[in-house]
Structure 1
Amino acid sequence: MRGSKRFALVAVILFFALAVMTFVLENQQGVVLSFLGWSTPELPVSVIAALALVAGMLIGFAPGLIVGRKKTR
């Protein structure tokens, strides 16, 4: 049972890694983002999407960390 769970986990991780690699390779065209007079240098779409994903994960993690600390006290 333990071996099948490990195999399933590795299969899922490999699937997501393949999906991310495909996304990066398919989205190499450069774009410039502008927001409130601030603009980025020309970066590939995949880099901007990855940065947005990481920023969202950090923003979502912070409130959970704060709530978790309050519950333990």
Structure 2
Amino acid sequence: MRNIRRVILAIFVLLLVLAILVFVLENQQSVSLLFLGGAAPELPLSVVAMTALLVGMIIGPLILWFAGANSQRRRK
């Protein structure tokens, strides 16, 4: 049973890596972002998308953590 779980996990990880690799290889067009008058250097679209994903994965839990801390203070 334990071996089956390892095989399924390994297949899942390999499929995830393959999907990321395909995404990166298919999105090599250079883009430049403009925000509040400032321009970022031209980077491949895949780098911009992955960076936005990672920043969102960090900021989202932080917002929930701060909201939870505020609600706990209100209860006391």
Give the shorter-chain TM-score range.
0.7 to 0.9
Runs of 4+ in 1 over 4 A off after TM superposition: none
Structure (1 or 2) with the larger CA radius of gyration: 2
1:19-42 Cα shifts (integer Å, max 9, x gaps): 000010111010000011011100
Name structure 2 gaps, 5 residues minimum.
none
State the distance in 1 between where 2:16 and 2:57 align. Answer: 17
Normalising by structure 2, report the TM-score: 0.81
Matches within 5 A, 1:1-73: 1-66=1-66, 67=68
Residue 65 of structure 1: how far off its partner (Å):
4.6
For structure 1, the residue ranges without an aligned partner over 5 or more in a row are: none
Q: What count of residue pairs does the alignment treat as equivalent?
A: 69
RMSD between superposed Cα atoms in Å: 1.6
